[in-house]
Amino acid sequence: MLCQECKEQKANVYVTKIVNGVKTEVHLCEKCAREKGDLEFTFEPKFSLQNFFASFLSEPWAAPQKPTHPSKVQCAQCGLTFAQFSQIGKFGCSSCYSSMGDDNLQPLFRRIHGSVSHSGKVPRRIGGTTRIKREIEKLRQQLQQHIQMEEYEKAAVTRDKVRSLEKELDEKGG
């Protein structure tokens, strides 16, 4: 069967579209399919688990941000580009982080991980001031939520907890 667009080459791409219950079939050659833009012939999957889980962590109220990274950013040691890193999610070598730069990586880390700072567990026996600082940070986030929800009584209680923990932290010298 010949291509329905150019009517010269053999059709090897068959596109079936169903829009509002109306089925249309188009038979195209690879060249016409690319030009038409219906299909994209790439060998890398558009769907990845990293992108799937990252979509849950993105801030729904924030407008989608255009990447601020220059497309030419490349690691001097291994040659990994920023575009490659953002797709695979792994650095190529130990100097990639410094080559890519904080300004380019911070928004990406925030989108994927939800934060740019590590907040792992701290052992109880040695994490006295660190534990208090994290508790204060968590309470401040709760305070902001209470204020946004106009729950002023709960906000006042949370504020008092923050103040008492800050006082405790000052006493410990943290």
**Distance, CA of 85 to chain centre:** 13
Q: Comparing C-alpha atoms, which of 168, 77, 26 is closest to residue 13? A: 26
Residue 9 lies in a domain: yes
Same domain, 16 and 57: no
pLDDT tens across 25-41, in order? 888 888 887 777 655 54
Residue 22 lies in a domain: yes
Give percent above pLDDT 70 in the chain. Answer: 72
pTM above 0.75, yes or no: no
Residue 64 lies in a domain: yes
Of 113, 136, 153, the residue at which a domain comes to its end is: 113
Domain with 84 in it: 49-113
pLDDT-derived band at 66 (thresholds 50, 70, 90) equals very low
Quick one: pLDDT at residue 145?
Answer: 92
pLDDT > 90? residue 67 = no
Quick one: pLDDT at residue 23?
Answer: 87
Q: How far is CA 80 from CA 47, 62, 71, 160, in A?
A: 21, 29, 12, 50
Structurally, the chain folds into a number of domains equal to: 3
Same domain, 70 and 103: yes
Count other C-beta atoms under 10 Å from residue 48's C-beta: 13
pLDDT tens across 5-25, in order? 888 889 888 888 888 888 888
